[in-house]
C-alpha cells in the first residue's frame, strides 16, 4: 500500500462568528466573478456565505440566452430553477450552522473559510447526486427514447462547468410537446430530494463508458468482424481524424460520445437501465470537471520519482478530501505497466456526511493512474493475464510526516 501524506496550505483563521469574510477567499474558488463579488447589504459572516453560495449555485440553474429553447419551455424551466433556488436558500443557513457545530467538535472554533468550503463541497455533491438519480418509469423511458434517437441534445451553450440544468431541459425539448409537462413535473420531484440521502445509486461503471468506447474504436474501422454504429460526423473528425483523446474533446463532443456509446451499448444488448446509468456517470460534472487544475501548484510534478508519492491533487487538498483508490495494472512480460484502471474508490470529504460523496469519488483517479504507469516503474513478473492490483491511500497529514513519507513502491 502506498500512503500519500501532504499538508494543505494554511488558511487564514477567520473566527466564526464575529469577523467579516474576506471576499478574496471566495474569489479563489474558480476565479468566478460570482464568487468574487462583494457581499451585499450585510457584514454578518453567515449571510455573506449564504449569498456567495447562492450566487455560484445559481450558475447551474441559469439558462444561457443563446440556448435554443422554445419560449414556453424556457419559461417553465426558469420557474423550476427559481423555485429550487428559493428552497435551497432556506436550507443554506441550516447547512452552514450544522457544519459549524460539526467542526466545533474538534475543540476549537472553526474558521469561516473552512465552514464555507465544506458547504460548497456539499453543494457540488448535491449537483452530482441529482445527475445520477433515476426518475420514475415514465421519466426513465422518455430519457432513453431521447438519447436513442434525438440529435442535438448535447448542444448546450454557456458555462460548460455548470450545464447541469440546461442539459436536462434540452433533452426535454426533444420530446413531443405533450410529454413535456410530465417530464418537468419529474424534474421538480427530483430537485425536491436535495439534502436527502439517495437510495440505491448505481456504482461506477467498470470500465468507464469513455474507456469502453475508445477501446472499441481502437480496434479499427467497423466491418463484419468489428461491427459498431457509425460515429456522428463531428466525432469521426475529432476522434478518428484528429486522434484526440477523451480529455481533449470539447464538452459537447464528450457528451456526444457518451450518447453514441449509450446507443452502441443498447445495440449490444446491454440492459437499458445500465446503459442509462453509464451515460449519467459519463456526463456527470464532478469536482474535477468543475475546478480542473485551478488549485494545483505550477510544476507540482517536477522531479517526481517512481519511489516517491505523486503530488496531491489540488482540488482534493483544497476540499480536504482523503481516501483510498484501488487500481488494476496490466503488465507486459517484463513487468512494466501497459495500462492502469481504477476499480475502487472510497473517499471522505468534509461537509458530506450520510451520503456518497460522488462528486469527489474520482478526485484521485488521474493521479493514481499516472503514478501506476509512470516511466521507470516495474512490478515484477506478471502472473499470466491477471492484472497487478494495489491500493493507494491518500491522507492529509502534518508537515513532519509528509516529509518523512517515502511512498512505498507497490
For residue 248, the 8-state DSSP code is G
pLDDT tier, 106 (very low <50, low <70, confident <90, very high otherwise):
confident
- Mean pLDDT on 384-391: 90
Q: Which spans in 295-383 are helix H? A: 314-319, 365-372
Q: Are 184 and 76 in contact (CB under 8 A)?
A: yes
pLDDT tier, 220 (very low <50, low <70, confident <90, very high otherwise):
confident
Residues 166-196 have pLDDT tens digits of 999 999 999 999 999 999 999 999 999 999 9
pLDDT of 43 reads 66
**pTM, entire model:** 0.87
Task: Give the span between the Cα atoms of 72 and 388, in whole angstroms.
Answer: 55
> Across the strands, what pairs with 330?
339
Residue 62's nearest CA partner among 173, 158, 155, 206 is 158
> Is omega for the bond preceding 17 within 30 degrees of 0, making it cis?
yes
Residues 323-333 have pLDDT tens digits of 999 999 999 99
Domain boundaries, the chain: 13-191, 209-285
Residue 238: what are its φ and ψ, rounded to 5°?
Answer: -75, -40
pLDDT of 298 reads 62
**Helix or strand (DSSP H, E) at 37:** none
Q: Are strands 337-348 and 322-331 parallel, antiparallel or unpaired?
A: antiparallel
CA 61, 63, 66 angle in degrees (round to 5)?
A: 165
pLDDT tier, 385 (very low <50, low <70, confident <90, very high otherwise):
confident
Q: Are 363 and 315 in contact (CB under 8 A)?
A: yes
Amino acid at each position: 500500500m502506498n500512503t500519500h501524506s501532504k499538508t494543505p496550505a494554511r488558511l487564514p483563521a477567520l473566527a466564526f462568528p464575529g469577523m467579516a469574510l474576506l471576499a478574496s477567499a471566495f474569489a479563489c474558488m474558480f476565479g468566478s466573478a460570482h464568487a468574487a463579488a462583494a457581499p451585499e447589504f450585510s457584514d454578518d459572516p453567515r449571510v455573506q456565505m449564504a449569498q456567495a453560495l447562492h450566487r455560484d449555485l445559481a450558475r447551474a440553474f441559469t439558462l444561457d440566452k443563446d440556448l435554443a429553447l422554445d419560449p414556453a419551455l424556457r419559461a417553465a424551466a426558469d420557474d423550476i430553477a427559481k423555485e429550487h433556488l428559493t428552497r435551497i436558500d432556506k436550507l443554506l443557513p441550516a447547512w452552514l450552522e450544522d457544519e459549524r457545530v460539526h467542526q466545533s467538535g474538534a475543540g476549537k472554533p472553526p474558521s469561516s473559510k473552512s465552514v464555507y468550503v465544506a458547504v460548497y463541497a456539499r453543494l457540488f455533491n448535491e449537483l452530482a447526486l441529482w445527475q445520477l438519480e433515476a426518475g420514475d418509469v415514465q421519466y426513465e423511458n422518455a430519457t432513453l427514447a431521447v438519447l436513442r434517437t434525438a440529435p442535438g441534445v448535447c448542444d448546450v451553450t454557456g458555462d460548460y462547468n455548470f450545464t447541469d440544468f440546461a442539459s436536462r431541459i434540452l433533452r426535454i425539448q426533444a420530446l413531443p410537446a405533450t410529454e413535456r409537462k410530465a417530464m418537468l413535473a419529474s424534474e421538480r420531484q427530483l430537485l425536491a430530494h436535495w439534502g436527502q440521502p439517495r437510495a440505491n445509486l448505481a456504482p461506477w461503471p467498470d470500465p468507464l463508458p469513455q474507456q469502453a468506447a475508445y477501446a472499441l474504436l481502437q480496434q479499427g474501422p467497423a466491418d463484419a468482424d468489428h461491427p459498431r454504429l457509425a460515429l456522428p460526423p463531428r466525432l469521426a473528425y475529432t476522434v478518428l481524424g484528429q486522434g484526440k483523446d477523451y480529455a481533449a474533446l470539447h464538452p459537447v463532443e464528450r457528451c456526444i460520445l457518451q450518447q453514441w456509446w449509450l446507443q452502441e451499448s443498447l445495440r449490444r444488448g446491454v440492459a437499458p437501465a445500465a446503459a442509462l446509468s453509464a451515460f449519467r456517470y459519463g456526463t456527470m460534472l464532478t469536482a474535477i470537471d468543475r475546478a480542473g487544475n485551478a488549485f494545483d501548484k505550477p510544476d507540482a510534478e517536477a522531479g517526481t520519482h517512481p519511489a516517491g508519492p505523486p503530488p496531491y491533487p489540488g482540488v482534493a487538498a483544497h476540499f480536504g478530501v482523503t481516501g483510498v483508490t484501488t487500481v488494476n495494472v496490466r503488465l507486459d512480460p517484463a513487468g512494466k505497466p501497459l495500462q492502469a484502471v481504477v476499480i475502487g474508490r472510497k473517499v471522505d470529504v468534509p461537509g458530506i456526511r450520510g451520503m456518497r460523496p460522488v462528486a469527489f469519488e474520482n478526485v484521485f483517479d488521474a493521479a493514481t493512474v499516472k503514478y501506476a504507469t509512470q516511466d521507470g516503474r516495474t512490478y515484477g513478473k506478471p502472473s499470466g493475464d491477471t492484472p497487478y492490483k494495489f491500493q493507494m491511500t491518500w491522507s492529509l497529514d502534518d508537515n513532519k510526516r509528509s516529509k518523512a513519507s517515502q511512498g512505498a513502491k507497490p
